[in-house]
Amino acid sequence: MDGAPETGDQPTRERVARSILVNGPSTAAALAERLDLTPAAVRRHLDQMLADGIVEPRDPRPTGNRGRGRPAKAFALTERGRDGFEAQYDDLATAALRFLADTAGDKAVQAFAEQRAAFIEERFPKVAAANPDATPAEVLAQVFSEEGYAASVRELPLVSNASGQPAEQLCQQHCPVSHVAHEFPQLCEAETAAISRVLGTHVQRLATIAHGDGVCTTCIPDTGVSAHPASTEETAEKKERVTS
C-alpha cells in the first residue's frame, strides 16, 4: 500500500489519470483501492492534478440508497488531462479534413467518416463468433477497446427492452478522434450508424467526449443479435431496416 519510495510523483499521477480515463469519473477511495494506494496519497495527487487543471471534481450521480453525510466527489479528466492520451497529429488530421471539405465537399468528409467506422461492421461478427456468450454491448465494447476507445459495459436495470431484459450502456472512456470529431461530427455519426446496422435497430448516443462530456455513452438494447456472423442477406436487410 504505497509503501515503496518513488523517484518522483509523475509516474503515480499518470497511473491516477489513466485509471480515471479507463474507468470514468472516480472518487479518491475508488482510486486508492484500484491502484493499491492509501486514500491520503491519492488525495495528495488529486490536489496537485486539480491545481494543474488535469482533473475536475464532479458531483456524484444520485442513487436510490444514499447513506448519511455528503457523498464523496468524483474526479474526471479535463480536456487538458485527456491531451496526454490523445493520438498524435490531431492538428494534422483536422487540417487534412478541412482541406478535404474545402476541395471535395461535405460528401467526401462523410465518405471518409464511413470508411473509418467500417471496423465496427467488419469486426463485430468475428468478435461475436469468438465470444458466443457475450451480449451485443459486450461485443461492441471489445471491438471499440481494440481500436483504443477504452470501452466498457454498464447495465441499466431500470431500462428494459420488449423482452423485459435490462438494457446495457456502452461507455467509451477514451476517444482517439475526439478533438477532430469536435469540428467534424460526421466521425461520431458514422460510428453510431454502424452500431445501429450491426444491431439491426436504431441507437442514439446519449453523450460524447467530442462535445465536452466525460464519456461517450450509447444505450444498447438486448436485440437478440446472433453470436455468429450474419449472412449477406441478413446484413442487407438490417441496413435497409435501419436506414428506412
pLDDT of residue 143: 96
- To the nearest 10°, report the CA torsion of 109, 87, 57, 219: 50
pLDDT of residue 79: 79
Question: By three-state DSSP, how is residue 205 classified?
Answer: strand
For the domain made up of 10-83, the CATH class stated in words is: mainly alpha
Residue 136 Ramachandran class (φ > 0 left, ψ -120 to 50 alpha, else beta)? alpha
- To the nearest 10°, report the CA torsion of 181, 79, 140, 138: -170
The predicted-structure confidence for 24-70, as pLDDT tens digits, reads as follows: 899 999 999 999 999 999 999 999 999 999 999 987 665 555 555 56
Ordered by start, the domain boundaries in the chain are 10-83, 107-243
Residue 232 Ramachandran class (φ > 0 left, ψ -120 to 50 alpha, else beta)? alpha
Q: Taking the model in full, what pTM does it have?
A: 0.61
Cβ neighbors of 55 (< 8 A, separation 6 or more) are: 17, 20, 46, 49, 75, 76, 77, 78, 81
The predicted-structure confidence for 189-199, as pLDDT tens digits, reads as follows: 999 999 999 99
- Cite the beta strand spans of the chain per DSSP E: 55-58, 74-77, 151-160, 166-172, 205-207, 216-220
The predicted-structure confidence for 109-152, as pLDDT tens digits, reads as follows: 999 999 999 999 999 999 999 999 999 999 999 999 999 888 99
Q: Which three cell numbers stand for residue 196?
A: 445501429
